[in-house]
Amino acid sequence: MSTGIVAAGLSNQLYFPHFSDLPVLDELDSNYYCETAQGLLQPSRTWCFVGEIVRDALSQMPVLGHRVEVRDASGAVHSIMFYPVAGTLDFTQLKAGATIFVRYASRCFFSDLATEAIKIEDLNFVKVINLNLDSLMYVSQMFFEQGPMCANCGADIRALGGGAPCCDTCNAAKYCCQQCKEGNAGVHASFCGVCCELCEVYNIDFERFIQFVPFRV
């Protein structure tokens, strides 16, 4: 699980780019890809699109690609289409108000729709969290993106290093002492589950690409 400050927080557009900044499918974009000696495109780092589902009327219709409309952090709304050839996903999770994450997402032009959308073929690179994007960004900033500080009293805990007490479940909430950990248990309980979900999003090397890392295998 993730520990310490997360440089690739949800507000970091380098690792969580808006739709308009995503690479175009099968095009060499040097911001995302490099070319191998065999002439193949390979990611040079990791990125993940994130957006809140704002319209879900077609989400349970396979013939229409389980289409959902999502709002990214810039406020722009675009479509995600599912044409699975691999992986699994509970499509009932695709509901308005939930937030969807797509690793290695790219833009694809759909001529029949005369628009660009994200096309998903491997469902294992998709994760859905049943919480809106603004709330997720708040939790991310509070537990993952701030400097080393006690989640209860706000004290600087840099001197404790890896010895700082932390939540036994998510490891995201850190404390200056055991008393603060125990005193904050009730408050943190309402955030712990979301922190665990975000740990799955952050538990990857965003700086470089070694191999494709799905959310599920």
Q: What pLDDT is attached to residue 8? A: 65
User: Are 6 and 170 a contacting pair, CB within 8 Å?
Assistant: no
Q: Which residues contact 40 (CB under 8 A, 6 or more apart)?
A: none
Q: How far is CA 100 from the centre of its chain?
A: 7
What parts of the chain have a pLDDT lower than 70?
1-8
User: Are 152 and 181 a contacting pair, CB within 8 Å?
Assistant: yes
Question: Residue 59 is encoded by which pair of tokens?
Answer: 């989400």
- Which amino acid, residue 134? D
Q: What pLDDT is attached to residue 4? A: 42
* CA distances (Å), origin 126, targets 62, 104, 118, 163: 16, 10, 12, 34
